[in-house]
Structure 1
Amino acid sequence: MQTQTYNQAILDVAEAGIQALQESAEKQKAKRTPAQESHFLCAWLVESFRVKRFSKLVADDLSAWIRMARSQGAGAMLPQLFERIAKQYRAVEKPELTQQQAIGQLLTELESDDWFVISDSAFSDDSGTKLKLAGNGQSSLVVCELQLESHFEDDKLVKSLPIYVRGDENHFAEKALAKGLLVSQGNKKTSLIKHHKTYLIAPNNQLKQLCLLIK
């Protein structure tokens, strides 16, 4: 029996929520307001959580969305959230490039967008001190040269690759998705480079948590 991945589980939730909203809308004569749509999806999430409809892998996501919908109402924008999840996770199901090719092209393209890209330096976190990148304020991306080599076997990524970014993360995520890559949400605490956030690219795009969603 094949174990469901996080990607499959989160996609199941998003697509089921979109379908439930569409089926409910078809039964209504009047167009729903954003507040009414949010209320419907909040109730749908609560019931789905109660009956354990979806995998435990996404239980924390469901709980967070329920809290968000209850506190923000229409501001939670759950329909748009589900659409973004469905679009991004569907987009990487059958990538045209290997991850090694995709990452290489991503770095080249960002450099052509006038990002300061460093991929030919080796560093580690042994010292416990964050490295400082001298720059003129332009967007920058740093990836360890040794990890670019050691985290691949042939052209296959076998270990999550940290990429350190300072700049428009939405632009970064858009460029990555266009190459068939999902990136994790940024983490400033784990970054080895000052003023940068750590983003991960996982083998086969199998991140353990929700990816960075494009706005």
Structure 2
Amino acid sequence: MAVYIEEIGKLVSDGLSELAESVESGKTPGNPVSETHFLSAWVTKSIKQQRYDHSVAKTLLAWQQQARSMGKNAQLKQQFVQICNTLTGLNPAEALTAAVTAAQIQALYQALTAAGWLVTTEFEVNRKVTHHTNGQASLVVCAKQYREAIAESGDVVKPLSLYLRGDAKAVIDTAYQHGLLLFKVTDYKSKVKYHGEYVVYPCNHGTHLPELPTQAAQ
């Protein structure tokens, strides 16, 4: 089966290319409403033709539902552009095949500490716990899970959970600056009370859409 993150990258690139061709040929007017209508029909056609690997089927169905329920406000083009920019800007030379490393994780810790976050990595998180921070932004990582996720080579070889309480967008942007994509499990309820859970995957190969950095919006 195809790797989700690579398949979704191909999908949005195809969609944007075919939209551009349709606009250039004059078949589709170059305005937001018409572009949204084109991509809505394109998504539905892709589902019917089973054009892409099954790994992205749920994402396509979600976009189809958005288009049906939100119409021109679905902003499919903006979503496609942001996903495309995120993936191509991550590591253009090696696409999505480069390993994620402990050095990148540690760099994220250091950046957040410098930004005033309380970074806690020395304890195990094997049950529901309460982490008191006195209102300070907080990142918690299970020490045992971290050890098991990092190979002797320093590569991340298993998914690693990051528990966040604070400005998640800031963490997503900071992680992206260090070559990391974060995949949301929950933005509030997790094993660490009042913290959301986000996951770093080996090679950034998550199984659903990552949280998209703000710098990739345009």
Question: How far is 1:22 from its partner?
Answer: 0.7
Counterpart contact for 1:173–1:213, Cα < 8 Å = yes
> SS at the partner of 2:198?
strand
TM-score, with length taken from structure 1:
0.90
Distance 1:62 1:30 in 2: 22
> SS at the partner of 2:38?
helix
TM-score, with length taken from structure 2:
0.88
Matched, 1:37 2:39: no
Look up the match of 2:106: 104
> SS at the partner of 1:185?
strand
Counterpart contact for 2:99–2:155, Cα < 8 Å = no
What RMSD in Å do the two structures reach over aligned CA positions? Answer: 2.0
Look up the match of 2:182: 183
Structure 1 residues 145-196: Cα deviation after superposition (integer angstroms, max 9, x where no partner): 2222221112011110011001122111111111111110241576211111
- Note the 1:70-85 alignment, pairs <5 A: 70-85=68-83
Look up the match of 1:21: 19
> SS at the partner of 2:182?
coil
Look up the match of 1:59: 57
Judged with a 3 Å threshold, the aligned counterparts in structure 2 of structure 1 residues 30 and 212 are, in CA distance, closer, same or farther, namely closer
Look up the match of 1:113: 115
Distance 1:124 1:36 in 2: 50
Distance 2:54 2:28 in 1: 36
Which residue of 83, 86, 92 corresponds with 2:84? 86
Matched, 1:6 2:8: no
- The 4+ residue runs of structure 1 with deviation greater than 4 A are 95-98
Amino acid at match of 2:112: L
> SS at the partner of 2:184?
coil
Amino acid at match of 2:142: C
Look up the match of 1:124: 126
Distance 1:55 1:97 in 2: 23
Distance 1:140 1:187 in 2: 15
Distance 1:30 1:85 in 2: 22
- Note the 1:167-178 alignment, pairs <5 A: 167-178=166-177
Counterpart contact for 1:91–1:180, Cα < 8 Å = no
Provide structure 2 residue ranges, at least 5 long, that are not aligned to the other structure: none
Provide the identity percentage.
31
Look up the match of 2:191: 192
Amino acid at match of 2:208: Q
- Note the 1:137-156 alignment, pairs <5 A: 137-154=135-152, 155-156=154-155
> SS at the partner of 1:71?
helix
Amino acid at match of 2:191: L
Which shows bigger deviation, 137-146 or 59-68?
137-146
Look up the match of 1:166: 165
